[in-house]
Amino acid sequence: MPADRLDPVGAAPAALPQTRLSAATTGSANLLLQAWLHTPEESRTLEEQIVRRFPEVSVSGRELTLHAARRLGHLLDGEGRRRGHVPITVWPSGGALAR
């Protein structure tokens, strides 16, 4: 996408509640979008909405995570609701490379 279109195109999905990340990147695939959706079908709907609104957008790839048992330390149930947590240790004692 042309660099002068990154801000307006990236801002549109960034305003959606399901969007977690909309970022400009380097290279020919220069816009990254991450969204938390309820079904895989919603990814196609979201893609179609963006391409319809911004015809200069070309989808170069997509990846889906179908189920996350844990997100940012939160344990999730089958509906994606928080049911507990696992403390995250950023730096294990003894340093990151200690075994």
* Domains of the chain, first to last: 1-86 (3.30.70)
pLDDT at 96: 56
pLDDT at 32: 93
What whole-number distance in Å separates Cα of residue 23 and Cα of residue 49? Answer: 18
CB count in 10 Å sphere of residue 30: 17
Is the pTM value of this prediction over 0.75? no
pLDDT at 1: 82
* Tens digit of each residue's pLDDT, the chain (99 residues): 888 999 999 999 888 888 889 999 998 899 999 998 888 899 999 999 999 999 989 999 988 887 665 667 777 777 777 888 887 776 666 655 554
Sheet holding 70-71, edge to edge: 70-71, 74-76, 82-85
End-to-end CA distance of the chain: 45
